[in-house]
Structure 1
Amino acid sequence: MEAKKQLGQHFLINEGVALKIAKQCEGESLIIEIGPGKGALTEKLLVDNRTVIGVELDRELFGYLKEKFKGKNFYLIGGDAAHLKIKRKAVICGNLPYNSAKAIIKNFVLQFDFIPKMVFMVQKEVADTITAKPQTKEFSKFSVLCQLYYDTAKLFNVSAGSFKPKPKVVSSVVKFKRKKSSYQIDNSFFKFIDKLFSYPRKTVKNNLKPFSVREEFAHKRPSDLSLDEIYYLWREEWQNS
Structure 2
Amino acid sequence: MKHIPRKRFGQHFLTDSGIIDAIVRAIDPKPGQPVVEIGPGLAALTQPLAERLGRLTVIELDRDLAAKLRSHPQLEVIESDVLKVDFLKVAQSLGAGKIRVTGNLPYNISSPILFHLLPYAEHIQDQHFMLQKEVIDRMVAAPSTSDYGRLSVTLQWRYAMENILAVPPEAFDPPPRVDSAVVRMLPRSDFAPLNATHLSELVQVAFSQRRKLLRHTLGRWLTERGFSGNFDVQRRAEEVPVQEYVSLAEATSTPI
Same fold by TM-score, threshold 0.5 exceeded? Answer: yes
* Distance in 1 between residues matched to 2:236 and 2:119, nearest whole Å: 26
Number of positions where the alignment pairs a residue of Structure 1 with one of Structure 2: 236
Partner letter of residue 198 of structure 1?
S
Match of 2:14 in 1: 12
Shift of 1:81: 1.1
Match of 1:208 in 2: 218
Match of 1:55 in 2: 59
Match of 2:139 in 1: 130
CA contact (8 A) 2:162 2:183 kept: yes
Q: Identity of paired residues, percent? A: 27
* Distance in 2 between residues matched to 1:93 and 1:174, nearest whole Å: 10
SS at match of 1:182: coil
The partner residue of 1:199 within 192, 199, 209 is 209
Match of 1:66 in 2: 70
SS at match of 1:199: coil
| Residues 1:190 and 2:191 are matched in the alignment | no
Match of 2:38 in 1: 34
CA contact (8 A) 1:30 1:50 kept: no
Q: Which moved more, 1:13-22 or 1:180-189?
A: 180-189
Shift of the 132–58 alpha-carbon distance from structure 1 to 2, 3 Å rule, reads: same
* Distance in 1 between residues matched to 2:218 and 2:136, nearest whole Å: 28
CA displacement 1:109-147 (0-9 Å, x = unmatched):
221011120000001100101111111110111111211
Match of 1:121 in 2: 130
Shift of 1:214: 6.9
Alignment of 1:17-166 (within 5 A): 17-28=19-30, 29-67=33-71, 69=72, 71-72=73-74, 74-87=75-88, 88=91, 89-166=98-175
CA displacement 1:128-172 (0-9 Å, x = unmatched):
011111111101111112111110110121111111011111111
Shift of 1:239: 4.5
Partner letter of residue 28 of structure 2?
E
SS at match of 1:40: coil
Shift of 1:235: 2.8
The partner residue of 2:186 within 172, 177, 180 is 177
Shift of the 54–159 alpha-carbon distance from structure 1 to 2, 3 Å rule, reads: same
CA displacement 1:51-104 (0-9 Å, x = unmatched):
21111110111232233x2x32x1111111122111222111000111011111
Match of 2:240 in 1: 225
* Distance in 1 between residues matched to 2:120 and 2:217, nearest whole Å: 29
CA displacement 1:167-226 (0-9 Å, x = unmatched):
111111111011121112124323222222221222121112433587762121111111
CA contact (8 A) 2:29 2:53 kept: no
Which ranges of 4 or more aligned residues in structure 1 deviate by more than 4 Å?
212-216
Shift of the 49–6 alpha-carbon distance from structure 1 to 2, 3 Å rule, reads: closer
Partner letter of residue 160 of structure 1?
P
SS at match of 1:24: helix
SS at match of 1:218: coil
Alignment TM-score, normalising by the size of structure 1? 0.91
Match of 2:5 in 1: 3
Shift of the 209–19 alpha-carbon distance from structure 1 to 2, 3 Å rule, reads: same
- In the alignment, structure 1 segments of 5+ residues that lack a partner are none
Alignment TM-score, normalising by the size of structure 2? 0.86
* Distance in 2 between residues matched to 1:111 and 1:13, nearest whole Å: 30
* Distance in 1 between residues matched to 2:182 and 2:105, nearest whole Å: 10
